[in-house]
Amino acid sequence: MKNEEKNIDEIISFAKEKGFVFQSSEIYGGLAGVYDFGPLGVELLNNIKKDWWKANVQKKMNYFGLDSAMFKDPRVWDASGHTSGFSDPMAECKDCNSRIRVDKELENIGIDADEKMSEKEINELFFANIGKIKCKKCGGSNFSEAKNFNLLVKSNLGDFTSKGDKPVYLPGEACQGIYLNYKNVVDSMHPKIPFGIAQIGKAFRNEISPRNFLFRTREFEQADTQFFVRPEENKEPYEKIKKERWQWYLDLGLSVKNLLWSQHKNLVFYASDAWDIEYNFPTYGFDEMEGIHDRTDYDLSQHSKFSGVDLSFNDNGEKFIPWVLETSMGMGRVFLAVLSEAYDKEKIDDEERRVLRLLSKLAPVKVAILPLVKKDGLKEEAYKIYEELSEKYNCVFSDTATVGKRYRKQDEIGTPFCVTYDYESKEDNSVTVRERDSMKQERVKIGNLGDYLNKLI
Ligand code: ATP
């Protein structure tokens, strides 16, 4: 199935039905813009993270991993510009009090709202087009003026951590932890420039209208890399990073026709270039999954200024503030892209087969072990295979319902291989291995099963 033929609501209910994603606090009516990953969801999520970590840390000589704390000195968010400038223009419907994000509404009708625009400029655009923007709840166009609404989420960690009257914030973006530890990484790992730091971390934003399932949430995870280069030696590595990030999505199984590049037309004042990789989400259409930004020396200079600590790099006596090339990806959006791409339905003998065509490396369950029947010692023998294989892979053991029904159940959750132990297995010491997509079955000696699966997974 093409993404254009898929329906996102169907995928959302599938995600709940099969234990991938649940609404947070559902028994209390649900908390808007917050989601939990269920038993299969957490496996898929972890597999995506592992793949990202492998590509961005383990397979790269000059990248270092990091896991920084979420709470930070409140001054970090002053230096980064989040306390003053991290806001979205919000307006309220005067008839039903629901809120809209004005820049996104303008975007939806083809008007580009610049990030640097003042409230006054945004309002001029907004009121010039007000008739074209409708309230999602009541359908009217009777809106208040747009006011900037800060997205940082406040916390009360305790007065002793606050400087002055500033609250402690939850991170508005994960990457600040990288800048804060840049000097520690330099002093402990002694990297040669250029080098990178990578981390996966949580971010929290008071999104005005969380929407589109995992696409715009109030709590989410970001996977970031910051590549530190000599000033103005940015162009070549930037192009290389762009190529690598594009390839990573192809290696996740996303098809090239569902991906596109989009360059920022309106750059923030310090940036030198910025591109997004967009994905063609079912129903929602193309939208951002990852941003790749050439940020000059802005971040380290700001933190140097605000902390009073010299963050220049000393390259054999030559000192300079490195420039930063950033990649920032939303884990929830990539999860949704992977799930959407893999979701498929096909007709087989007048019956519909629902199948999740995930790459083996991403599948939550790699192998299902199925005794043909529970009796005559088949279950016990099959269980021995389960015990052995589950040392290596996430496996399931299932002995209820007919084998055909069990195959279908595994197809739906993306399990690439089913191993069936039948009556003949006792005699020929072999099992049937069925592959999910082709549904082809092959007889494999139990003694060779580990090697056989190893090659395929
Ligand atoms: P948008 O324009 O969609 O609000 P952004 O440009 O503010 O996104 P960044 O601040 O560059 O996003 O964050 C980097 C990545 O983090 C984005 O590409 C996206 O994948 C993810 N992200 C940002 N905001 C959210 C959110 N509210 N929910 C889920 N993921 C998000």
Residue nearest to atom 23 of ligand 1 (CA): 330
The predicted structure's pLDDT at residue 323: 97
Tell me how far apart the 2 most distant CA atoms of the chain are, in Å: 81
Name the packing angle between helices 39-53 and 235-251 (round to 10°).
140
Q: Which domains does the chain have, with CATH numbers?
A: 8-85+151-339 (3.30.930.10), 87-149 (no CATH), 365-456 (3.40.50.800)
Residue type, 211: R
Whose C-alpha lies nearest to ligand 1, atom 20? 330
Mean pLDDT of the chain: 95
Q: How far is the CA of 158 from the centre of ligand 1 (A)?
A: 29
Burial (CB count <10 Å: 0-12, 13-18, 19+), residue 97: exposed
CA of 275 to the centre of ligand 1 (A): 13
Q: What is the mean pLDDT of residues 224-231?
A: 98
The answer to whether the CB of 357 falls within 8 A of the CB of 414 is: yes
Q: What spatial distance separates the first Cα and last Cα of the chain, rounded to whole Å?
A: 24
Average pLDDT over residues 354-371: 98
Q: Per-residue pLDDT tens for 309-353?
A: 999 999 999 999 999 999 999 999 999 999 999 999 999 888 999
In angstroms, the CA 338 to CA 253 distance is 7
Report the residue among 273, 328, 331, 334 best suited for mutation to probe ligand 1: largest number of ligand atoms under 8 A from its CB: 328
- pLDDT at position 428: 95
Distance 330 CA to ligand 1 centre (A): 6
Give 137-183 pLDDT, tens digit per residue: 899 999 999 999 999 999 888 655 555 567 899 999 999 999 999 99
Q: What is the pLDDT of residue 160?
A: 53
Structure tokens at 347: 């007709």
Find residue 229's DSSP bridge partners: 323
The whole-number pLDDT of residue 208 equals 87
Cα 132 to ligand 1 centroid, rounded to whole Å: 26
201 lines ligand 1 (CB under 6 A): no
pLDDT digit string, tens, across residues 190-223: 999 999 999 999 999 999 889 899 999 999 999 9
pLDDT at 21 over 60: yes
Phi-psi label, residue 215: left if phi above 0, alpha if psi -120 to 50, beta otherwise: alpha
**Can you give the pLDDT at residue 265?**
85
> What pLDDT score was predicted for residue 164?
57
Name which residue sits closest to atom 27 of ligand 1, judged by CA: 216
Q: Taking residues 228-250, what's their average pLDDT?
A: 97
Bridge-based pairing state of the strands 195-204 and 219-229: antiparallel
Interval 382-388 mean pLDDT: 97
Residue 407 to residue 416: CA distance in whole angstroms = 10
* 258 in contact with ligand 1, CB cutoff 6 A: no
- List, as own/partner pairs, every contact residues 439-443 make where C-beta atoms lie below 8 angstroms and the sequence separation is at least 24, other chains included: 439/407
> What stretch of H or E contains 410?
helix 403-413
Does position 282 have pLDDT exceeding 70, yes or no? yes
Instruction: Quote the pLDDT of residue 117.
Output: 78
The residue whose CB lies within 8 Å of the most ligand 1 atoms, and thus the one to mutate among 333, 334, 336, 338, is 333
